[in-house]
Structure formats: structure tokens, C-alpha cells
Amino acid sequence: MRTLDAAQGHWKKILIAAGIEADVLKNKHGTCPLCSGKNKFRFDDKGLGSWICNSCGAGYGYKLLRQFTGSTDKELLAMIDELLGHRPALTYQAQDPQLKVNRRRLLSFKSALRECGTLTASYLKNRGVGLGQIHYMREHPAAPYYEDGKLISEHPAMVNQLINRQGKTVTFHVTYLTQDGCKAPLEHPKKIMPPIETVTGSAIRLCRLHNRLAITEGIETALGVMRYEQIPCWACYAANNLAKFDPPDGIDSLIIYGDRDRSYIGQAAAYELARRMQARGIEVEVVLPPDVGKDWLDHWVECA
């Protein structure tokens, strides 16, 4: 369980421990702990620490905690864990021998990467996106394709790094291509390689960090956001990882370009991420494509 998930229902206790007077943490108007304005602040909590001030705005427990203390995310999350006796979910253990195997495989794979050429450029043009972010990507001339642990074939590939909150590359996302720049006719033409740390919460950074950023599931959709909406964007590669995206410090506003799936998986992931970001004090907006069963890139290409 993540720290902010564990904090739900405990925000009054957390905020009092941080130094906010208990008397103002009630569902009635009182003195704002941020601006000291009298009868401007109300704390209705509802499990998420929700509050409102006529001068300071509104938000959830984590935003109030961060603004009141001025501490870093790392310091605040550690404080909450200690206060609640919460132990964050362990990821990979350093002694896991499989990590050594994964590391060697990633290093070998990385050594063959090169700047993107005509294959990746052709693929992106075929998908209807621009080439402005191509320098953030790499290309592999003969990426190995495995099924059930067995090497089946080799294909040229577009390669992107999955980078965690700390800025570390944890694995590579591979899109297998044909020699004419189309998606390879494989059962799984897109894969991530075995990671050296947990992939959960990581993202494919297709531009530098911006305080206002967009996020999507797929790489091509993210490139479409940058081409058609002119907003810097990263990708999370899959719905379950989008829901668990863990943004680095410096992101104040997030626009989630979700998928409108018939199964509702894409919508659920987008709104789960929105809920988590709002609790963290990040301004968030969810936008979905108008047509069921299509992603944003499909919509933009059809309308172009």
C-alpha cells in the first residue's frame, strides 16, 4: 500500500502532528492555518483531508500539509509513514539474483542502441505523429523477441526508457517493427524488458520535466498530445501503470488524456490517477476522447 493511500481517514491526526491546531480542523468556519484569516477556513475531511479557505483556495490533506510545513515530498511521506506505523510496499530486493540477470540483459541491449533512423521515423509518420521528440527515443537494429522465455526472432525496434520518480531507468519499452516501418506482425509487438527495479509508477519521458504536464497510456498518444494539443506529455505504456503514475517533484498540474475503452479500463485508470494526484495537492484534469473504443490519436488523425 502506498503512503497516501494509507493516510486516508487519518488526515486530522497527521495535520495535528505537523503542528496545525486541532481547533481549526473541524467542519465549521475557523482561522486558516495558512493565511491566519479568521472565519475563512473549513476542514470537512471526508477521509481525504479536504478543506477550503476563502483566500487560499481548496484542496486535500496532503496539499495542506505541504503548504503548511514547506517540507519536501520525501520528508512528508517519511513523516506520515512513521506516524502511522506504515511500511511502504517493498519492491525488488537488492539480493534478488534475477536482478543481476536482468541488469546484464539490459546492459547488453543498451549497448546495441543507436539514434533513431528511417525505420522509427517511418513508423511515427505512419501513426500520424510528428518527429519533434524523436531524439528522446532510440532504435535497435535487431531486438530479440521472446515468448515463454524462448528466443523466437529478431526485429528492428523503437525503444524508449521507462524512468522512475527518482530519474532512474528501470527498463526499456520495445516496439517491434518491420523493415518498412510498420508494427511487426507478432502476437505482442510491444513489450517491456525485465526490469532492474519496480516499473510501477514509472513513465516514458518524451520531453523534459514541466510544471504543467500531460500524461497518457501509449507513446503514440503522448506524441499526438504534443503535436495536436501543443502540451508537453509523457506516457505510462499501460492503463494499470497510468493509474499508479508517481510524478517527480516539480509537477504542479497534470492533464490526463485517458482512453475511452468499452471495458472502462482506461477511464478507471485515468480517474484513479486523478484521485491520487488531487490528494497529493496536484491540480488535475481528466479528458477523454469523444468516441468509445478509440484513443485520442485515432480522434485527431480522423479529424486532421
| pLDDT value of residue 302 | 84
Res. 223: pLDDT tops 80: yes
- pLDDT band for 21, please (50, 70, 90 cuts): confident
pLDDT at 291: 87
Closest CA to 61 of 70, 69, 51, 53: 51
Q: Picking from 19-33, 130-144, 206-220, which range would have the lowest pLDDT averaged per residue?
A: 19-33
What is the share, in percent, of the chain residues with pLDDT greater than 90? 57
CATH architecture of 212-303: 3-Layer(aba) Sandwich (3.40)
pLDDT: which is higher, 92 or 185: 185
The mean pLDDT of the chain is: 90
Residue 87: pLDDT band with limits 50, 70, 90? low
Q: What is the pTM of this model?
A: 0.73
3-class SS letters over the chain? CCHHHHCCCCHHHHHHHCCCCHHHCCCCCECCCCCCCCCCEEEEECCCCEEEECCCEEECHHHHHHHHHCCCHHHHHHHHHHHHCCCCCCCCCCCCHHHHHHHHHHHHHHHCCECCCHHHHHHHHHHCCCCCCHHHCEEEEEEEEEECCEEEEEEEEEEEEEECCCCCEEEEEEEEECCCCCECCCCCCEEECCCCCCCCCCEECCCCCCCEEEEECCHHHHHHHHHHHCCCEEECCCHHHHHCCCCCCCCCEEEEECCCCCCCHHHHHHHHHHHHHHHCCCEEEEECCCCCCCCHHHHHHHHC
Average pLDDT estimate for 246-259: 94
